[in-house]
A and B are shown apart, each in its own frame.
Chain A
Amino acid sequence: MKTVLEVLKEIRPEFDFTTSEDFIADGMLDSFDVVTLISELDRRYGISIAGTDILPENVRNLAAIQQLLLKYGIAP
């Protein structure tokens, strides 16, 4: 998960994403952060995450993001 953590850190450097189970509820990612995150994951892994998968539950924590990437054949 080092790369995903790096992406999150670039978006919101002020937070420690290893300590939260819900980035949205904890106020660590807003709606534009989510768009930036998806865009960056698309670019880094050469995929296009479907718009229907861009849901809060799929970016809630590191495990959820990992599951989302696995759906696109990426094992970070």
Chain B
Amino acid sequence: MNFSFSGKRIAGVLTVLPANERSFMDDMKNFDFPEEKSLKLKKVMGYDRHRIVTGDTCVSDLAVHGFRHLFDRGLVKPDELDALVVVTQSPDYFMPATSNVIQGRLNLPHDMLCMDIPQGCAGFIVGLIQAFMMLEQASINKVALVNADVLSRKVSPRDKNSFPLIGDAACITILEKADDRQPIHANLKMDGTHHEVLIIPAGGFRMPSTPQTAVMEDVGDHNYRAKDNLTMNGTAVFNFVQVEVPPMIESLLQQAALPIEQIDYFMFHQPNKFMLGKLADRMRISHARMPSNIVENFGNASGATIPTNITFNLARPLLNETLTLCMAGFGVGLTWASLVMQVGRLAFCEIIDY
């Protein structure tokens, strides 16, 4: 499915990271795995350190901290926001929506549309598409998009498939109407027949959490996790990404009539360094144009990895100039989506700690 927009822009991006940092060397002690093998894994996959929340920190805590930072510095005015879109798979509650919780904690105006979208690794692109659709309305001039997850709370520390790469973060992206008519192109596909490839089996209404679903099980390959934990079929995800993402980008650039050389940076979701390197090689893109250092520095925080990629790697240029960015997210659902647009002269582009 293709989308196109114009007259809209990204005004600023903020990443909020938990101050708590864990190292892969610490994580290794929890794995039932030879140390030498773990070190090889570290090198190939790019695992090093990751930021994860402590205690009962929730998505709304990270997001409220970020909004207060923006409001206190006058970078965003609370009464300018017409919509708040929160993309998360780790909501504060089943009900109400986390966007309503954030709106309430910040005393934002009642004349506002709050919406939660339960999306993950493709959630930044899905959220941008949703925000741009909202901005087509006369009554909506500014949208705050929050991509946030605290999924480390749902990952078994004894699961070497998932724990070393997981990260927590919240990103706030402000979208607004713009005078210039620069085109924005996006595409999106979903395949729910493989919804079990990335899943937290227990805790919803299909399989409510019980003492039994909290019991750690030996699931093979030296991994232990409970049904309450996040489960990822790494091989299936890897193959899905390698098969689906390159043609998706080719199709997007055709839609936008943009040669690949005109893209300044490919800001992709980052599951691990190996996977991204293989994508870049297949698409004949230099690794320098596809930054892949988010997992090794902060971990993979689902829909927050692309905006964190932007704040970590492109803050300086994006505050001063405009770049053409091709962004792509892929994962839970399964969902894969991409978007190409000009981004630049941002009012803010930074990372803060919580």
Q: Give Cα A50 to B245, complex, Å.
A: 13
> Is the beta-carbon distance between B45 and A48 smaller than 8 angstroms?
no
In the complex, what residues of B have CB within 8 A of residue A31's CB?
A: 161, 221, 234-235
In the complex, what residues of A have CB within 8 A of residue B235's CB?
A: 31, 34, 56
Q: Is the interface of B mostly helix, strand, loop or mixed?
A: helix
> Is the beta-carbon distance between A51 and B282 smaller than 8 angstroms?
yes
A52 within 8 A of B: yes
Binary interface profile of A, 35-76, with partner B (CB < 8 Å = 1, else 0)?
Answer: 110010000000010111011100000000000000000000
B209 within 8 A of A: no
> Is the beta-carbon distance between A51 and B44 smaller than 8 angstroms?
no
Known A30-B221, A31-B234, A32-B37; contact A54-B278, beta-carbon cutoff 8 A:
yes
Residue of A nearest to B234 (CB): A31
> Is the beta-carbon distance between B239 and A52 smaller than 8 angstroms?
yes
8 Å CB contact of A54 from B45, B160, B161, B238: B238
Q: Give Cα A51 to B235, complex, Å.
A: 11
B261 within 8 A of A: no
In the complex, what residues of A have CB within 8 A of residue B3's CB?
A: none
> Is the beta-carbon distance between B44 and A35 smaller than 8 angstroms?
yes
B191 within 8 A of A: no
Residue of A nearest to B241 (CB): A51
> Is the beta-carbon distance between A48 and B274 smaller than 8 angstroms?
no
Number of interface residues of B (CB under 8 A): 22
How distant is A34 from chain B, measured CB to nearest CB, in Å?
Answer: 8
Known A32-B41, A36-B40, A36-B41; contact A50-B281, beta-carbon cutoff 8 A:
yes
Interface residues of B in 19-64 (CB under 8 A from A): 37, 40-41, 44-45
8 Å CB contact of B274 from A11, A39, A50: A39
In the complex, what residues of B have CB within 8 A of residue A48's CB?
A: 277-278, 281
Count CB-based A-B contacts (< 8 Å): 45
> Is the beta-carbon distance between A51 and B278 smaller than 8 angstroms?
yes
Residue of B nearest to A56 (CB): B235
B138 within 8 A of A: no
In the complex, what residues of B have CB within 8 A of residue A11's CB?
A: 40
> Is the beta-carbon distance between B44 and A39 smaller than 8 angstroms?
yes
> Is the beta-carbon distance between B44 and A36 smaller than 8 angstroms?
yes
Q: Give Cα A13 to B88, complex, Å.
A: 43
> Is the beta-carbon distance between A54 and B41 smaller than 8 angstroms?
no
Known A50-B281, A52-B242; contact A35-B274, beta-carbon cutoff 8 A:
yes
In the complex, what residues of B have CB within 8 A of residue A54's CB?
A: 238-239, 242, 278
In the complex, what residues of A have CB within 8 A of residue B279's CB?
A: 51
In the complex, what residues of B have CB within 8 A of residue A50's CB?
A: 242, 278, 281-282
How distant is B212 from chain A, measured CB to nearest CB, in Å?
Answer: 27
How distant is A3 from chain B, measured CB to nearest CB, in Å?
Answer: 18
In the complex, what residues of B have CB within 8 A of residue A30's CB?
A: 221
In the complex, what residues of A have CB within 8 A of residue B160's CB?
A: 32
Residues on A facing B (Cβ under 8 Å): 11, 30-32, 34-36, 39, 48, 50-52, 54-56
25 A-B contact pairs sorted by A residue (CB < 8 Å): A31-B161, A31-B221, A31-B234, A31-B235, A32-B221, A34-B235, A35-B41, A35-B274, A36-B40, A39-B274, A48-B277, A48-B278, A50-B242, A50-B278, A50-B282, A51-B242, A51-B275, A51-B279, A51-B282, A52-B242, A52-B243, A52-B282, A54-B239, A54-B278, A55-B239
Instruction: Kindly list 17 other residue pairs between chains A and B, CB separation below 8 angstroms, not including A50-B282, A51-B278.
Output: A11-B40, A31-B221, A31-B234, A32-B41, A34-B235, A35-B41, A35-B45, A35-B274, A36-B40, A36-B44, A39-B274, A48-B278, A50-B242, A52-B239, A54-B242, A54-B278, A55-B239
Q: Which 7 A-B pairs have the closest CB atoms?
A: A51-B242, A51-B278, A48-B281, A39-B44, A30-B221, A52-B242, A31-B235
